Structure 1
Amino acid sequence: MNNIRNWLMGILAGLATVFLTVGGVRYVMAGGEPGEVEKAKQAFKSAGIGYGLAALAPLVVTILRGIVGV
C-alpha cells in the first residue's frame, strides 16, 4: 500500500508540475490576449488541484486500507 501511495503522489505531483509549466508558458506567451490569459489561469488552477490531490494521497490510501481491511 505504501508503494501505491508513493506512486500516486509522484504521478499527481508530476502532472501538476506539467500543468504549472504549461500555464506559465501560456501566460508569458499570451501577450495580453484575454483568451490565452484565461487558459493560463485555468492551467494554474488545475496545477493547484493536482498538488492538493497529491497532498491528500496518503489519506486516500488510509481510507482504502480501511475499506479493504489490510
Structure 2
Amino acid sequence: MTCNVGNLDRLVRLVVGTGFFLLPFASDWVVWTNDIAKYAVAAIGAALALTSALRTCPLYRFVGLNTCRM
C-alpha cells in the first residue's frame, strides 16, 4: 500500500475520528437513542482513525487524490 494521506490530513482524521467514535457513547443526546445512528457514527470514526494509522485512504485512491509528500 502506498501512502496517500499526509501528516496534517492524518492529524485531522485522528482527531475527528476519535471524536466521532467516542461522541455517541459519551453524550446523552436524543439522537443517540437510535442504535443505528449511534453505531454508524462510531463506525465512521473508527474508519477515519484506521485510515490515519495506515496512512492510506481507499477513497483518495479511487478519486486520485494524494496529500502525502513524495
State the TM-score bracket (shorter-chain normalisation): 0.5 to 0.7
Higher RCO (Cα < 8 Å, 6 or more apart)? 2
In 2, distance between residues paired with 1:5 and 1:50? 13
CA contact (8 A) 1:5 1:58 kept: no
In structure 2, the residue matched to 1:9 is 10
Query: Bigger radius of gyration, 1 or 2?
Result: 1
RMSD, aligned α-carbons: 3.2
In 2, distance between residues paired with 1:9 and 1:17? 12
User: Which is further off, 40-49 or 4-13?
Assistant: 4-13
- Equivalent positions of 1:1-70 (< 5 A) are 5-25=6-26, 29=28, 36-57=34-55, 61=68, 65=70
Instruction: Give unpaired runs (5+ residues) of structure 2.
Output: 58-65
* TM-score of the two chains, using structure 1 as the length reference: 0.57
In 2, distance between residues paired with 1:7 and 1:58? 13
Instruction: Give unpaired runs (5+ residues) of structure 1.
Output: 66-70
Letter paired with 2:15: G
How many residues align? The count is: 56
In 2, distance between residues paired with 1:12 and 1:51? 6
Report the CA distance between 1:58 and its aligned residue. Answer: 6.7
Q: Which structure is higher in helix share? A: 1
Identical pairs, percent: 9
Letter paired with 1:51: A
